[in-house]
Structure 1
Amino acid sequence: MNSLHQRKERFSLFAWVAVAIFGSVFLFQRDLADWVTQYPEAWTLPAATWANIGMDWFVDHFRWLFRAISWLLTWPMDAILGLLTWLPWPTTISLFIGIAFVAGGWPLALFTLFALLYMVGIGYWTESMRTLALVAVSVPLSVLVGFGLGVSAWRSERANRLVQPLLDLMQTVPTFAYLIPILLLFGFGPVVGMIASAIYACPPMVRSTVLGLQRVPEETVESGIMSGASSGQLFWWVRFPSALPTILVGVNQSTMAALSMVIIAAIIGSSADIGWEVLSTMRRANFGESLLAGIVVALIAMLLDRITRGFAQDNQRSKRAFSLSPRLILGIAGATALSFLLLSLSVTELSEFPDQWVFYPAAQINAAILFFTVEFGAALDQIKNGFLFFFLLPLRIGLENTIRPFTWGFDLTLTMKISYLIACVSLSLLGGYRYGWRVAVAIGIATVLLYFGIERMPWPAMVALLVTLAWQAGGTRVGLFTLAGLAFMLVTGVWSLGVRSLYLCFAAVLVSFIIGGSLGIWASQSDRVSRLVRPINDTLQTMPLFVLLIPILMFFQVGEFTAFLAIIAYAIVPAIRYTEHGLRHVNNEVIEAAIASGCTPLQILWQVRLPLAIPEIMLGLNQTIMFGLAMLIIAALVGTQGLGQAVYVALGQANFGEGLVAGLGIAFIAMSADRIIQAVSAGKKRALGIK
C-alpha cells in the first residue's frame, strides 16, 4: 500500500511539473501570438444561433399550449389577489397573527404584527398583497409538482437518474437564463412571473421529498407490511407520515425560493407588486424608496420563513405555553378577523388605510444618504480604491499591469520583478519543506496568478491548471467533466466572460471564507458570540438577493467593488454556519482524550477540532461558492462584466441562445467547483475515518 501511495504521489508531482512547463511555454509566447491569450473567434461554434433556431421552432409549434396554461393559472391568481386586496387590512393581520401563533407562539405572533403594521404604515399594503398572491399560487404549484417528481425519483432509479442532473442544472443555471424561454413561451405579465417563481422553487421540494422517503426506517415499513397494508396504504399511512418532517422542510425552502424570485420575476411579470417597486426604484437610483420597499420584501421573507419552519419543526413548546389548542387560537383569530370585516363596512379607515396615516420617510433617508456621501465621500472612495488597486485589480490583470504611479505610486522595475521571483521561489520551497510538496505547488500557483492576473493568463495554461486540479482532487471523472465545461466555454466564445466571472467570484469567496471562517471559529468558542451572529445569519439568508444590493449601492454606487461587497454579504453566511457547526460537533470523546493528554485550549482548537471539522468546513466552502455564483448574476445589475451581465443583456433582448450559452457557462463553473470540493471533503472523511 505504501509503495502504491508513493507512486501516486510521484505521478501527481510529475503532473504538476508538466503543467508548470506547459504553462511557462505559453506565458513566454503571450506577446508573440495573439491566439495564446485570446481564443480565436474562427475556432468558435455558433451555438447561440443554433439554440435560437431550435427555440424559434419550438415556440412556433407549442406556444398555444403554454399560453393556455398561462390562461388557466390566471384564474386562481386573480381570485387570490382579489381576495387579499378586498379584505380589510386589520382582518388580514388578525388571520396572519393567528397562524403565526400556532406556528411559533407569542414571539412569532408579535413579529408578524410588527411586520404587517410596517407594510400598511409605510403605504405598501396593496403591493405586499400582490406579492403574497404570487407566492400563494406559486408555492402550492411548486410543492405539488416537486412532490410528484420526488416520489417518481424515489420509486424509480431510471427516473432518479433523469431528475437529479435536471435539478443540478436548475439550481446552477442563473434564473435570468431560464426567464428567457418562459417569456417567449408564456408571454409577459404577472402570471408569467408566478410561473417563473414556481419553476425556481421546485428543486428544494423534489430533493426533500426524495430524502424524506429514503430515510423512513425499515422497521416502520416492515411493521406496515406485517399489518397487511396495501401498497397505497403503505405509502400514505406509513411512509408519508414518517417522511413528513423532511418534506415540510422542502415546503419551507420552496417558499423561500419562490419569494427570492419576486424581484427577478418583476422583470418579465410587472404587476405593481413589491418586487416591481424595488426594481423600479433601484433603476431610478431612488435609494430611500428602494430601501423601504426592500425592507418589506425582507419582512415577508422572514415572516414566511418562520411560519413554515415553525410548522415543519412542530414547535410544541410554544403551543403548550398557554395550554391553548391550535383550533381555539385559529377560532379566536377568525372571530377577530370577522369582527374587523363587519366594522369595516361602517368605518372607512378599517377598509382602506388612510393616506394621512402613512409614514413614508424616503425623502429623509435620501437626504441622510446625500449628507453621508458628501461628508464621508472621500473616505468611501479611499476604501473602494484601496480594495480595487491592491486586491481586485492584481487578481484580475496581475501585479505587472497594476503597479503604476497612478495606482501604487511607483513603477514595477526589473529589480522588483527579480526580488518578487526570489521571494516566491523561497516561500514555495519553505512551504514545501515544512508542509509537503502540495503546499509548494499551491504557493507557486498563487504567486504566478497574482503576478500575471487571472484574466491575462493564456487559456491553454488555465485549462491545464484547472483540469489537473480537478483530476487530482476528484479523479478522472471530475477532471473530464471540468475539461468538458472549459471546452464548452471556449468553443462557444464565452471564455473571456467566464474568466471575468471566475475572478470576481473567487475574490469574493476568498474574503467571505476567511472572514466567515474566522467568525465561525469565534462563535464556536463563545456562546455569546454565537447568539449575536445567529440572527444576523438568519436575516442575511432569508433576505432576497436584490435587497442586499440596496445599502451597498447607496454608498459605493455602481461598479465592481459594489458587486464584490454584495457577493460577500450573501456568501459569508454558510462559511460562518458550517464552520461553527463542524467545530461544535466534534466527537466529545476525542476532546476529552486531548484534555487528558494535557493539550491547551489553543492546541485543542488547532490540532484537534479544526482537522476533524474539515469535512464540514469544506461543505461550507462549497455552499459559499454556490451562494457567490448566485449573487454574481444579481450583481450584473450594478455594472459588473462577465457571464452574469451576458445573461442579463440576453434577457433584455429576449435572446434565448446567448442567455443559454452564458447560463450554461455559469452552471459548468458551479458544478465543477461542487464536484471538486465534494471529492476533497470525501477524501478528508476517509482519511479521518468519518462516515
Structure 2
Amino acid sequence: MRAALASRDGRLWLGVGAFCLLCFLLAPRVVWIGEYPDALVIPFASWITTGMSAFVDSFRWLFRALAALVDVPLVGVRTALQATPWLVVMVLACALAWRARGPGLALLTACALGYMVVTGYWVQSMNTLALVVVSVPLSVAVGFGMGVAAAYSERVNRIVQPTLDFMQTIPAFAYLIPILFLFGFGPAVGLIASAIYAAPPMVRNTILGLRSVPAGVRESGVMSGCTPRQGFWQVEVPTALPQIMVGVNQTTMAALSMVIIAAIIGGFDDIGWEVLSTMRKAQFGQSLLAGLVIALLAIVLDRISFGLARNRFAGETPDERAARRQRTWATAVALALGALLLAMLFPVFDDYPRDLRVYPAGQLNEAVNWFLRHYSGAMDALKNTVLFFGMLPFRIGLNQAVSPFTWGFALEPWMTAAYGVAAAALFLWLLWRGRAGGALAVALVAVLLWWGTTGLPWPVVIAAATALGFQTGGLRTAGFVAASLIFVLVNGLWEPLMLSVYLCGIAVAISFAIGGALGVWAAHNDGVSAFLRPINDTLQTMPQFVLLIPALMLFKVGEFTALLAIISYAIVPPVRYVEHALRNLPQGTVEAARQMGCTPWQILTQVKLPLALPGIMLGLNQTIMYALSMLVIAALVGTQGLGQQVYLALSQADMGMGVVTGLSMALLAMTADRILQAASRRHQEKLAVGTAAPA
C-alpha cells in the first residue's frame, strides 16, 4: 500500500482525489463548479455561421456548377441501369462474382438481386447502385492521390493523418451540413457527401501499401533501368496492389453505408429514401424489407470487392492470366447477349410484372402487432427494468435514481452510509493487496454510480480524464485530453457531452463484455467461430439505420431502443479482435504454460489474455468508435446528447452548430483513442521488459 501511494501514479491520483473531493464539497455553494456559466460560453458556432454565409454568398455559383457537373455521370449511369433488363444486370453481376470468389458468391449474388426483383425494389436498388458506382471511383481517385502524396512526403503526411482522424471520427451527419450549405439539395449533393465520407479508407490503405513495399523491390526496379514514373506504376503499385484493393473494398462499404444519410439531402427515388420515409411513417414491415435490400447489396459488394482484392488467380503466369481473362470476358458477353435476347422475347425478363411480386410487408406488420399485443407487457417490463435499475443510475446517480416510483423505496441515510463504507472498504482492501489499478477503478465507478455522469462537476471530469491521459501517455496525451474537453466546455456543449458519454459508456461496456466473451469462445471453438462469422459480416455491412428497425418494432422510441441499436452495431469489433488476438499468440509460450501444469483457466487468464491485450485493446478502441458513430443515428429515436445536437443542426441548417458539435464528437472519439493507444503501448513495454528480464 505504501509503495503504491509513493509511486508517481499514486501521488498523481492522490492529488486528483483531493481536488475532486474539494469540488464536491464546494459544488452546493459555488454554482459555477456544478454548471459552467453561460456568460463564459464562446460563440464559435455563430462566428462560423457568419463566416460561412459570407463565403457561400461569394462562391455559391462555383459549387452549384460543380454539383451540376457531378450530376451528369450520375444521371447517365442511373439511366443506363434503368434501361438495361434486370436479367442482363443479374448475369453480369453473377459473372463478376464468379470471377471474384467462385460459384458460391455467384449464387449469393443471384439470390440477392432476385430478392430486389421479386419485392419490387429493383428501380430503387439501381438508383442506389448508380450512386455507389459514381461515388466510389471518385473516392478512390481522390484517396489514391492523397495517399501517394502522403506516402512519399512526410510533410504532407503530417497534414493528412490528423485530417483523416477528424474525417473518420466526425459523425456522418456532420458532413451533410457544410455540403448542404455549399451545394444545396439534390442527388448530386448526396453523391458528393458519399464520396467525401468514403475517401479516408482509400488514403490510409494507399499509404500503408506504398510504405510497405520492400526496399529490395524498389532497388530491383532501379537496377532494371526503370524511370521514376515506370518504377512507380510498374513496380511499386503492383506490389502494393493487394493493400490498395483493401482500401477499395472499405471505400465501397463506406459509400454504401452513407446512402440513407445522403437520402436526407438527396431526395430521389433510391433505396435509402425508401428506408428513411417508411421509418418516419413507422411502417416497420416496409422499412425492414427495404433495409434488407441495402444489407444484401452491401454484402454482395463487400464479397466481390474483397474477392477481387485477394486475387485468387495470383499464381498464374502472364499468358495464363491473359487467356483466362479472354475466356471470362467471352463467357460474360455471351451470357449477357443471351439474357438480352430472352428479355426481348419474354417481357417478364425485362420488366418484372407487378402481379408476380412478393411483398409481405403487411404480413410482417401484422406479425409485429400480434407479438406486441401478446408480449407488450413483457417488453415494457424488460425496458423499464433496464432503464430504472441500469441506465438511470449511470445518468443521474443513485442519490436521485432511487425513489419510490423507480425502485419502490426511498433512499435512507443508513443506505447512503452503507454504500460509502462498502466502497471505501473495497478500495482500501485492493490498495492493501497492491492492486492500485483495481482500487482506482472501484473509486471511479463508486463516484460515477453515486453522482451519475450528468451530476459530476465539470472540473472533476476534466481533472480525472487529464490525469488518466497523463498516466497512460504522458504530457502530450494529457494536454490533448484537457484541450478537447475544454473546447467542448467553452462551446456550451458540456451537458450533451456527458449524456453522450453516459449512453456510449453503457453500450460499450455491454458490447465489450458480451463480444469479448464470444470472441474468447470463438477462439477456442472452430464451430462457434464459423457460426459467428456470417452474423458479424451481416451486422458490419448492414447500414446503421437498418439496425434501428427491429429495436423500434419492439420497444418504440426511447433511450433503451437507442441502446440496443448501438450495441448491435458495436458488438462486432470485440468479437473479431479478441478472437484474432487469441488465435495469433506465440504457440511456444502457451505450450510452455501447459507443460508447467497450468489449468485451461490459468492459461487463459494468466498467459493468453495478458499476451493478447494489445489486440484486445484495439478491439475496445474500435468498439468505442463504432458506438460514437451510431450516436447521431440513435438521435432519430429520441436520445439526447451530441448526436441530437448534430441532427438538430442539420434540420435547421445551422452550419456553426453542426461544425462545433461534429468537432466535439470527433474530439471525444480521438480522446478515447489516444488514451487506449497509450495504455496499449505502456502494457507492451511492460510485457517486453518482463519477457526480457530472465535473459
TM-score, structure 1 length as denominator?
0.97
Distance 1:156 1:8, change over 3 A: farther
Look up the SS of the partner of 1:325 in the other structure. Answer: helix
Distance 1:8 1:448, change over 3 A: closer
Aligned to 1:3: none
C-alpha contact (below 8 Å) 1:122/1:360 kept by paired residues: yes
Following TM superposition, by how much is the alpha carbon of 1:623 offset from its aligned partner in structure 2, in angstroms? Answer: 0.3
Q: 1:571-601 CA distances to partner (integer Å, 9 max, x unpaired)?
A: 1111111111111111011011112211122
Aligned to 1:664: 663
How far apart, in 2, do the equivalents of 1:634 and 1:474 lie?
A: 32
Matched, 1:20 2:17: yes
Trace 1:470-619 onto structure 2 (pairs within 5 A): 470-619=469-618
Aligned to 2:155: 158
C-alpha contact (below 8 Å) 2:85/2:343 kept by paired residues: yes
How far apart, in 2, do the equivalents of 1:434 and 1:283 lie?
A: 56
Q: 1:147-188 CA distances to partner (integer Å, 9 max, x unpaired)?
A: 000001111111111111111111111111121110111111
Aligned to 1:224: 221
Aligned to 1:458: 457
Look up the SS of the partner of 1:558 in the other structure. Answer: coil
Q: Aligned AA for 1:450?
A: L
Matched, 1:69 2:66: yes
How far apart, in 1, do the equivalents of 2:599 and 2:4 lie?
A: 38
Aligned to 1:328: 327
Following TM superposition, by how much is the alpha carbon of 1:473 offset from its aligned partner in structure 2, in angstroms? Answer: 1.2
Q: Aligned AA for 2:135?
A: S
Matched, 1:252 2:258: no
Bigger mean CA deviation after superposition, 26-35 or 509-518: 26-35
Following TM superposition, by how much is the alpha carbon of 1:318 offset from its aligned partner in structure 2, in angstroms? Answer: 13
C-alpha contact (below 8 Å) 2:4/2:431 kept by paired residues: no
Q: Aligned AA for 2:621?
A: N
How far apart, in 2, do the equivalents of 1:147 and 1:327 lie?
A: 28
Following TM superposition, by how much is the alpha carbon of 1:83 offset from its aligned partner in structure 2, in angstroms? Answer: 0.4
How far apart, in 2, do the equivalents of 1:344 and 1:514 lie?
A: 53
How far apart, in 1, do the equivalents of 2:555 and 2:435 lie?
A: 43
Distance 1:118 1:623, change over 3 A: same
Identity of aligned residues (%): 53
Out of 272, 276, 286, the position equivalent to 2:273 is: 276
Following TM superposition, by how much is the alpha carbon of 1:324 offset from its aligned partner in structure 2, in angstroms? Answer: 9.7
Trace 1:291-306 onto structure 2 (pairs within 5 A): 291-306=288-303
Q: Aligned AA for 2:48?
A: A
C-alpha contact (below 8 Å) 1:89/1:350 kept by paired residues: yes
Matched, 1:234 2:269: no
C-alpha contact (below 8 Å) 2:147/2:203 kept by paired residues: yes
Matched, 1:111 2:111: no
Out of 83, 88, 91, the position equivalent to 1:86 is: 83
Distance 1:188 1:9, change over 3 A: farther
Matched, 1:639 2:659: no
Distance 1:324 1:526, change over 3 A: farther
How far apart, in 2, do the equivalents of 1:555 and 1:624 lie?
A: 25
C-alpha contact (below 8 Å) 2:87/2:343 kept by paired residues: no
Total equivalences in the alignment: 685
How far apart, in 1, do the equivalents of 2:329 and 2:571 lie?
A: 39
Q: 1:95-152 CA distances to partner (integer Å, 9 max, x unpaired)?
A: 0000000001011000000000000100000000000000000000000000000001
Following TM superposition, by how much is the alpha carbon of 1:333 offset from its aligned partner in structure 2, in angstroms? Answer: 2.7
Matched, 1:122 2:119: yes
Q: Aligned AA for 2:130?
A: A
Unaligned runs of 5+ in 1: 1-5
How far apart, in 2, do the equivalents of 1:324 and 1:278 lie?
A: 44
How far apart, in 1, do the equivalents of 2:445 and 2:78 lie?
A: 55
Taking only aligned residues, the RMSD between alpha carbons, in angstroms, comes to 1.8
Aligned to 1:393: 392
Aligned to 1:33: 30
Look up the SS of the partner of 2:120 in the other structure. Answer: coil
Following TM superposition, by how much is the alpha carbon of 1:317 offset from its aligned partner in structure 2, in angstroms? Answer: 10
Out of 167, 171, 195, the position equivalent to 2:168 is: 171
Following TM superposition, by how much is the alpha carbon of 1:199 offset from its aligned partner in structure 2, in angstroms? Answer: 0.2
Q: 1:240-275 CA distances to partner (integer Å, 9 max, x unpaired)?
A: 000000000000000000000000000011111000
Following TM superposition, by how much is the alpha carbon of 1:7 offset from its aligned partner in structure 2, in angstroms? Answer: 10
C-alpha contact (below 8 Å) 1:101/1:329 kept by paired residues: no
Aligned to 2:305: 308
Look up the SS of the partner of 1:201 in the other structure. Answer: helix
Q: Aligned AA for 2:595?
A: A
C-alpha contact (below 8 Å) 2:175/2:197 kept by paired residues: no
Runs of 4+ in 1 over 3 A off after TM superposition: 6-9, 316-320, 323-327
How far apart, in 2, do the equivalents of 1:536 and 1:669 lie?
A: 29
Following TM superposition, by how much is the alpha carbon of 1:633 offset from its aligned partner in structure 2, in angstroms? Answer: 1.4
C-alpha contact (below 8 Å) 1:95/1:337 kept by paired residues: yes
Q: 1:339-390 CA distances to partner (integer Å, 9 max, x unpaired)?
A: 2223333422222110001111101000000010111101111111111111
Bigger mean CA deviation after superposition, 107-116 or 519-528: 519-528
Look up the SS of the partner of 2:453 in the other structure. Answer: coil
How far apart, in 1, do the equivalents of 2:580 and 2:316 lie?
A: 28
Q: Aligned AA for 2:8?
A: F
Following TM superposition, by how much is the alpha carbon of 1:20 offset from its aligned partner in structure 2, in angstroms? Answer: 1.3
Q: 1:528-586 CA distances to partner (integer Å, 9 max, x unpaired)?
A: 11111111111111111111111111101110011111111111111111111111111
C-alpha contact (below 8 Å) 2:522/2:579 kept by paired residues: yes
Bigger mean CA deviation after superposition, 183-192 or 433-442: 433-442
How far apart, in 2, do the equivalents of 1:558 and 1:315 lie?
A: 47
Aligned to 2:42: 45
C-alpha contact (below 8 Å) 1:454/1:499 kept by paired residues: yes
How far apart, in 2, do the equivalents of 1:336 and 1:324 lie?
A: 18
Following TM superposition, by how much is the alpha carbon of 1:309 offset from its aligned partner in structure 2, in angstroms? Answer: 0.1
C-alpha contact (below 8 Å) 2:136/2:251 kept by paired residues: yes
Q: 1:289-326 CA distances to partner (integer Å, 9 max, x unpaired)?
A: 00000000000000000000000011249999xx9935
Following TM superposition, by how much is the alpha carbon of 1:434 offset from its aligned partner in structure 2, in angstroms? Answer: 3.0
Distance 1:334 1:435, change over 3 A: farther
How far apart, in 1, do the equivalents of 2:270 and 2:541 lie?
A: 19
Q: Aligned AA for 1:622?
A: N
Following TM superposition, by how much is the alpha carbon of 1:328 offset from its aligned partner in structure 2, in angstroms? Answer: 2.3
How far apart, in 1, do the equivalents of 2:5 and 2:483 lie?
A: 24
How far apart, in 2, do the equivalents of 1:333 and 1:69 lie?
A: 36
Trace 1:168-207 onto structure 2 (pairs within 5 A): 168-207=165-204
Matched, 1:147 2:144: yes
How far apart, in 1, do the equivalents of 2:417 and 2:330 lie?
A: 80
C-alpha contact (below 8 Å) 1:319/1:325 kept by paired residues: no
Out of 259, 262, 277, the position equivalent to 1:262 is: 259
C-alpha contact (below 8 Å) 2:5/2:11 kept by paired residues: no
Q: Aligned AA for 2:263?
A: A
Q: Aligned AA for 2:374?
A: E
C-alpha contact (below 8 Å) 2:5/2:14 kept by paired residues: no
How far apart, in 1, do the equivalents of 2:579 and 2:316 lie?
A: 30
Look up the SS of the partner of 2:630 in the other structure. Answer: helix
How far apart, in 1, do the equivalents of 2:316 and 2:26 lie?
A: 71
Following TM superposition, by how much is the alpha carbon of 1:9 offset from its aligned partner in structure 2, in angstroms? Answer: 6.0
Distance 1:56 1:572, change over 3 A: same
C-alpha contact (below 8 Å) 2:127/2:270 kept by paired residues: yes
Bigger mean CA deviation after superposition, 466-475 or 116-125: 466-475
C-alpha contact (below 8 Å) 1:586/1:613 kept by paired residues: yes
